[in-house]
Chain A
Amino acid sequence: MSHDIAILGVGMHPWGKWGRNFTEYGVKAARDALADSGVAWQDIGFVSGAATMRCGYPGYVAGATFAQALGWQGAEVNTSYAACASGSQALAAARSKILSGACEVALVVGADTTPKGFLAPQKGERPDDPDWVRFRLGITNPTYFALYARRRMEMYGDTQDDFARVKVKNAEHGFENPNARYRKKFTADDVAASNMVADPLRLMDICATSDGGAALVVSSLEYARKIGRGDAVKVAAISTVTPTYASAVIEMPDIATDSAAVVEAHSFRAALPVKAYEEAGISPQDVSVAEVYDLSTALELDWMEDLQLCERGQAARLVRDGVTKVGGRLPVNPSGGLACFGEAVPAQAIAQVCELTWQLRGQAGARQVNNAQVGITANQGLFGHGSSVILKR
């Protein structure tokens, strides 16, 4: 049985630090996605929201918040929270509803309004919470990104110049993207001149947090054909697998890995796309474009290897050779990635799907990937949340 569903419409609110209510971004993105799909709001049978934890109760019930703001019309609602994978889980909930026959066409929305500075834990003395403990010891999110980056330097000989190349490449991509927050062609010198945050990563190696919103209108293939959209881009796979014990890599917010003394260690990042490839019946060699979670420049290189787009340790060479640039053989983050967007947690995984949809439709303008047939996303967040989505023509 096919697990495919159709993407009829996509929409985004530009990323930035707008400081307005997240609902506004979500509604703008949703209206754009509805207009793009040609489906009337009243015909949506299911609203699947990705939650935000930073905007009070309306954020916890994001699906209902967006449905109410768009005008209650009786649709069923759902809200998903899975850290950085929230958007993918909202999409997965919509897909389940569609494939079970409970709904023909659904709206998936995520939006966020973010505070300034480091993401910090909840207040109070909470030594039982690993997130509290690591901040107490002075271990922030960039600490983990920097440990992974330094590990690449120690294992594969990657350099800070390689990491800067990722930033320069993504900045060139994002320059062409009207939804990106940072639209400037930064140079390697700009990266080198930015402040060191967590050696070897500088400020411009690490992504910011942003406000933004993204939405999808998705349907059964039958519904798509019925409205004359049989040629719509399809979701071929959604992987939201959890890790397998024991963790091979030190994961945020933990202070230690699991012990691999009696069981084998597994890399979570590497496991995420495996299920997606299997479900889609697509191999890494078939991928034309990837949108990966570049929380840091160096992490984009890890993802390329975890997605099996190249051998372990080879990612920096591909960047040096221009392979991952638009115009190269295998563009990575043609949207500009988190480097140009900054992270708007519940919207980010949906935004990745928006970008791949535009790429596969051939509507990406100056950042268009040549003949894009198959696209894959990847992201990972706290507490074993992650996702990988495959789109195909």
Chain B
Amino acid sequence: MSEETNAAAGTKTRQPALEGWFTLNQDQPHLIGNQCNRCGTYYFPRARHFCKNPACDGEQFDDVELSRTGRVWSFTNAEYQPPPPYVAAEPFVPFTIAAVELAKEKMIVLGQVVAGVNPSDLKAGMEMELVLDTLFEDDSAEHITWKWKPVASNHHES
């Protein structure tokens, strides 16, 4: 990042691109899900009103922070600029996407992968952790989202 953009970024507020979907703890962020207090099913995004488990008529949910690490189920990238409401940088920079399986919640969650990681760097089963990063910037704010990042132990010395 150039000093100029650093300076510009410094004046901007950081705000979640999706309000209430993740904690804003920069070092140990978590996705915010919830859990049916009758059957224990997890939800992300959070369930409202009714439990979707057909065998459960629960209507009360407790917020939970989901596991912030999981294993790669599959992965891809976006080489073409997605249509709005995606907000693309000029010029568009392709990004990697991973589907990551959370063991405790038994749930697969999609997310962009941090810049610099290509599909060729990923394998099914690889351990990933959740980080916060910029989704897009506009004149007033830096809009933050969750992204997946390979955990350090995956990197083999070359």
Measuring CB to CB, which residues of chain A are less than 8 angstroms from any residue of chain B? 117-118, 120-121, 123, 125, 127, 130, 132-140, 142-143, 146-151, 154-155, 195-201, 244-246, 250, 255-263, 265
Is residue B105 within 8 Å, beta carbon to beta carbon, of the partner chain? Answer: yes
Nearest residue (CB) in A for B80 is A197
Pair A198/B124 contact, Cβ less than 8 Å = no
5 contacts between A and B (CB under 8 A): A118-B83, A136-B86, A137-B86, A138-B78, A138-B112
Query: CA of A117 to CA of B83 in the docked complex: distance in angstroms?
Result: 9
* Mask of B10-52 contacts with A, CB within 8 angstroms, 1/0: 0000000111000000000000000000011111110000001
Pair A139/B97 contact, Cβ less than 8 Å = yes
Nearest residue (CB) in B for A134 is B110
Contacts of B107 in A (CB 8 A): 256-261
Contacts of A149 in B (CB 8 A): 76
- Looking at chain A's contact residues, the main secondary structure is loop
Knowing A261-B106, A263-B53 touch, does A135 contact B85 (C-beta < 8 A)? yes
Pair A199/B76 contact, Cβ less than 8 Å = yes
Contacts of B83 in A (CB 8 A): 117-118, 120, 135, 140
Chain B positions 65-95 with a Cβ under 8 Å from a chain A Cβ: 73-80, 82-87, 95
Pair A259/B106 contact, Cβ less than 8 Å = yes
Query: CA of A200 to CA of B120 in the docked complex: distance in angstroms?
Result: 10
Given contacts A245-B52, A256-B108, A260-B106, 17 further A-B contacts (CB under 8 A): A123-B84, A127-B19, A135-B85, A136-B18, A136-B85, A136-B87, A136-B135, A137-B112, A138-B86, A140-B80, A143-B76, A143-B97, A147-B99, A149-B76, A150-B75, A200-B119, A246-B53
- Looking at chain B's contact residues, the main secondary structure is loop
Contacts of A150 in B (CB 8 A): 74-76, 119
Pair B105/A261 contact, Cβ less than 8 Å = yes
Contacting residue for B82 out of A135, A196, A263, CB 8 A: A135
Query: CA of A136 to CA of B84 in the docked complex: distance in angstroms?
Result: 7
Pair B99/A154 contact, Cβ less than 8 Å = no
Contacts of A125 in B (CB 8 A): 85
Query: CA of A137 to CA of B148 in the docked complex: distance in angstroms?
Result: 13
* Nearest chain A CB to B30 CB, angstrom units: 14
Contacts of A133 in B (CB 8 A): 18, 45
* Nearest chain B CB to A286 CB, angstrom units: 32
Pair B73/A151 contact, Cβ less than 8 Å = yes
Is residue B156 within 8 Å, beta carbon to beta carbon, of the partner chain? Answer: no
Pair B39/A139 contact, Cβ less than 8 Å = no
Nearest residue (CB) in B for A255 is B110
Nearest residue (CB) in B for A247 is B108
Nearest residue (CB) in A for B55 is A263
Query: CA of A255 to CA of B145 in the docked complex: distance in angstroms?
Result: 13
